[in-house]
Copies of this chain bind each other. A is one copy, B any other.
Amino acid sequence: MTETEATRERILDAAEELFYGQGIQTVGMDAVRSASGVTLRRLYQVFPSKGALVEAYLLRRDERWRKSLASCVEKSDAPPAERVLVVFDWLRDWFTEPDFRGCAFVNAFGELGATAPEVAEAARRHKEAFRRYLAGLVDDAGAPGGLATPLALLAEGAITTAALTGSPLPAHAAREAARLLLAAAIDEDGRAVAQAGPPR
């Protein structure tokens, strides 16, 4: 049992690096096979089709990504009011990773969202989970819940822009904008912020 689990991980490791780094359609099953050092038959034994492998790739990446973010925020000793900003610091760190290439889900959606509903659904779920996590932090900070969506938009924009420009600076700009929004919301409390739009 742990044997097939190990090969499963090896396959997913290889698939993640290839799919994320080069795009899903660009990478053939044979590339996954040779990168994972597994035989083609075993590959199809564990994942009965490329679609299944793609789904597993996205699922695992979603969990990894969110766990990494959460544990970073948890480890930080920032007061609750500033924990939201730690998210943007974490983004900056992510952006500076050498193989950063934007959001795997946005990329997958652009590539396959129109033809593969499961991919579109996985992307939606990922973004929705992130937004909810952000909403929790906003709530802990005592800020109005309506802030979660604009903060998510800033993060989203930063991810895409960092990918396109190859620079981590968008994380900084997004962080400062987030700080301003939080400050404005807490200062004037419920007033200006009640107009900041419905939860979504």
Against B, the Cβ 8 Å flags (1 = close, 0 = not) of A177-194 are 100110110000000100
Copies in the complex: 2
Number of interface residues of A (CB under 8 A): 54
- Known contacts A26-B114, A112-B23, A197-B172; is-contact A127 B165 (Cβ 8 Å): yes
A23 to B119, CA, bound (A): 13
A164 to B126, CA, bound (A): 10
- B127–A153 contact, CB under 8 A? no
- Known contacts A25-B111, A107-B110; is-contact A173 B153 (Cβ 8 Å): yes
Question: Is A200's beta carbon under 8 Å from chain B?
Answer: yes
- B164–A150 contact, CB under 8 A? no
A182 to B48, CA, bound (A): 53
- A180–B184 contact, CB under 8 A? yes
What is the interface of chain A mostly: helix, strand, loop, or mixed? Answer: helix
* Interfacial chain B residues near A196, Cβ < 8 Å: 173, 176-177, 180
Whose C-beta in chain B lies nearest to the C-beta of A185? B180
* Interfacial chain B residues near A153, Cβ < 8 Å: 153-154, 157-158, 161, 170, 173-174, 177
Partner of A157, one of B105, B160, B180, B181: B160
- Known contacts A102-B109, A149-B170; is-contact A161 B165 (Cβ 8 Å): no
Question: Is A152's beta carbon under 8 Å from chain B?
Answer: yes
* Interfacial chain B residues near A26, Cβ < 8 Å: 25, 112, 114-115
Question: Is A167's beta carbon under 8 Å from chain B?
Answer: yes
Binding site for B on A (CB under 8 A): 21-23, 25-26, 101-102, 105-115, 120, 123-124, 127, 149-150, 152-158, 160-161, 163-165, 167, 169-170, 172-174, 176-177, 180-181, 183-184, 192, 195-198, 200
